Amino acid sequence: MSQASVSKRPMAYVRLGTSGLKVSRIILGCMSYGSPEWQPWVLGEEDGVRQIKEAYDLGIQTFDTANVYSNGLSEVVLGKAIKKYNFPREEIVVMTKVFGAVSHKINEHYYGVNVDEIGYVNQHGLSRKHIIESVKASLGRLGLEYIDVLQYYAITHNLTPFISMQNHYNLLYREEEREMIPTLKYFGVGSIPWSPLARGNLTRPLGEQTKRAGYIGAGVEDIINRVDKLAREKNVSMAQLSLAWLLHKDVVSAPIVGSTSVEKMKDIVGALDVELTDEEMKYLEEPYQPVPIFGH
């Protein structure tokens, strides 16, 4: 068995909300690893394992996946990377989720479908039965004895408080600041935003011929242009600047970022070195206009 690298790049580690659990300042999103049969942009096992190893070597020790990603294969790939490179279990943090139905076929996903009608009764939702069975299945796929963070449930009878909220938050979507962010601060819950780069919209100039789906609004183009301009002035990438904006928000413990190349992974981690002044933060935020709720 090969050993994980011990010469890792310095990485900041912070507490998740007010809990005692520490996570890396950047969390690796593992939705991109599993099977391209599930989604064409997903990397297969070999490339996925390589990406996870690269992330660990850069100091990332927190990994976010879900039972439904590639219908379980994302968890399998993460588990194989942990085992192959002997990541210290006492150090790493593994996050997964419970709710959706895990299809028996890799190339299927059921969004907006009544899965009870196609043979998945009690295999989705938040019933006690499904939660227990789902956790058992996730542990089996991961090859682990426990999960560090399970994202699935609400406070019941004041017994187990939330410690984290995986919410949609980035420069192009700031509706969370109206109610969610103040609530998280009040309860001491750490935000671990998904899509911090707005599906790639915050990583490249407007003139590039790339698909920009899901983000509309009066201020979108102006924000992207300002990110581009300021990134050039500071000699950093647009991705680094956009992540740095999030990292300067005190409620954000760590953004969840996916990557399908070593070069992009290194670029992402470089965001930790980007400093922004109050004036620069205001400059990036100023054009924002309210948009419809998206991602809930």
Residue 102: other Cβ atoms inside 10 A: 22
Looking only at the bridges linking them, the beta strands covering 13-15 and 22-24 are antiparallel
pLDDT of residue 212: 58
pLDDT of residue 134: 94
Q: Which of 154, 242, 229, 253 is nearest to 203 (CA)?
A: 242
Task: Tell me if 195 sits within 8 A of 168, measured CB to CB.
Answer: yes
Q: Which amino acid is at 150?
A: L
Is the per-residue pLDDT at 70 higher than 60?
yes
**Active-site entry in 33, 56, 69, 169:** 69
Q: Which of 174, 140, 163, 148 is nearest to 64 (CA)?
A: 148
> Which residues 6+ apart lie within 8 Å of 41 measured at CB?
32, 260
CA 77 from centre of chain: 16
For residue range 6-23, list pLDDT tens digits in order: 445 579 999 999 899 999
pLDDT classification of 109: cutoffs 50, 70, 90? confident
Is the per-residue pLDDT at 288 higher than 80?
yes
pLDDT of residue 177: 97
End-to-end CA distance of the chain: 42
pLDDT of residue 141: 98
The answer to whether 69 is a known catalytic residue is: yes
Q: Compute the mean pLDDT over every residue in the chain, rounded to the nearest whole number.
A: 91
DSSP assigned state of 159: S
pLDDT of residue 207: 75
CATH class of 13-161: alpha beta
Q: Which of 105, 41, 98 is nearest to 73 (CA)?
A: 105
User: Which tokens is 1 given?
Assistant: 């068995």
Task: Tell me if 129 sits within 8 A of 182, measured CB to CB.
Answer: no
Rounded CA separation 268/171 (Å): 16
For residue range 153-179, list pLDDT tens digits in order: 666 666 677 889 999 999 999 999 999
Task: Output the pTM of the full model.
Answer: 0.91
For residue range 208-225, list pLDDT tens digits in order: 655 555 677 789 999 999
* Mean pLDDT value of segment 176-187: 95
What string of DSSP letters covers 41-87? T-B-HHHHHHHHHHHHHTT--EEE--TTGGGGHHHHHHHHHHHHTT-
Task: Tell me if 71 sits within 8 A of 23, measured CB to CB.
Answer: no
| DSSP-derived 3-state class of residue 262 | helix
* Mean pLDDT value of segment 99-104: 90
